[in-house]
A = this chain, B = another copy of it.
Amino acid sequence: MSALQRVAIVGPGLIGGSIGLAIRARRPEVEVIAIARSEAGAAAAVARGAATAGSADLQVAVAADLVIVATPLPEMRPVLARLGRILPDTVLVTDVGSVKAPVAGWAQELLPHAQNFLPGHPMAGKAESGLRAAEATLFQGAPWIFTPSSDADRTRFAEVVRLIEALGATPVWMTAAEHDRRVALVSHLAFTVSAAYVAAVKASPGWARAVDIAGPGFRDMVRLAGSDPDLSAAIAQANRTELLDAIGHFEAALKRFRRHLEENTPSIWELFEESKLVHDQWMAG
């Protein structure tokens, strides 16, 4: 397949806008069409330099070689349904959704040319969301996960992968199930624990005066609770089986700390020591 000449980005927010900025910076010969919910949103993407043209009409996607669906997760299904009705067999499609098995299922169900769909997930992000927070370097050094079905023809997506590499990301291949299991552990469990920590502090007597004296460690722990709750809830529901499994692992681990404290033995030290050693290995590796 020849190089991609025209890419449509549906949903030019933090991720979609950053993809547009990165393509414009690294592949200036590629035309980028931002497709937003409103003409104003599309114009903002062009003004920001994240696209060469903009539209509020999904129909313009038919003229692209590749459509990147970068809307929030709850909007992906309706977008895929509409793309399924209009896209010819010649247009490739990928997405950036945080959960992959459900998105792959929607594509199978809704795209007549499902063989053109490559589920994707760049492992990059920021606390801020929206086009304003977008940056061309967001994917520099980040893994970009692809989860094609086992019978997919990967050569079909060679140019998509080359584009992703041009943005500075490293393609990583795995099954959708494997992806969802891993992100439940390192991402979805993390924002759930952070949100639960905020709720726990808020439920405790005298919490306001406690927060007044909190230090940088507290800020680290609550940062993810500041994520978009619509997105967190959508991800948690879409990946609930894996997330519940991860929460189970976490509850068991915390219970070990609690038990050692209740029994008041010096062995609580071993638990902190073990976590410290694991932490140091991860951060070194």
**Chain A residues in the interface with B (C-beta under 8 A):** 123-126, 142-143, 145, 172, 174, 178, 181-183, 185-187, 189-204, 206-207, 209-230, 232-233, 236-237, 240, 243-244, 246-247, 249-254, 256-258, 261-262, 264, 266, 268-269, 271-276, 278-280, 282-283, 285
**Cα of A190 to Cα of B221 in the assembled complex, Å:** 7
For A192, what are the chain B residues with a Cβ–Cβ distance below 8 Å? Answer: 254, 257
Tell me whether A268 and B233 are in contact in the complex, defined as CB-CB below 8 angstroms, given that A193-B221, A217-B125, A220-B223 are known contacts.
Answer: yes
Measured between beta carbons, the chain B residues less than 8 angstroms from A186 are 201, 210-211, 213-215, 218
Query: Across the two chains, which residue of chain B brings its CB closest to A184?
Result: B210
> Do the beta carbons of B198 and A279 come within 8 Å of each other?
yes
In the assembled complex, the Cα of A165 lies from the Cα of B105 at a distance in Å of: 61
A224 touches B233 (CB 8 A): no
A-B contact pairs, 25 of them (CB 8 A): A123-B215, A124-B215, A172-B212, A178-B209, A185-B204, A186-B211, A190-B220, A191-B217, A194-B217, A194-B221, A195-B257, A196-B253, A196-B254, A196-B257, A197-B253, A199-B274, A199-B278, A202-B278, A211-B285, A219-B283, A221-B221, A225-B278, A229-B269, A236-B261, A244-B262
A215 and B196 contact, Cβ closer than 8 Å, known pairs A204-B249, A209-B182, A283-B226: no
Distance from A273 Cβ to chain B, minimum over Cβ atoms (Å): 4
A216 to B220, CA, bound (A): 11
With A220-B223, A272-B232, A276-B227 in contact, do A211 and B282 touch (Cβ < 8 Å)?
Answer: yes
Give bound CA distance, A229 to B215, whole Å. Answer: 19
A214 pairs with B187, CB closer than 8 A: yes
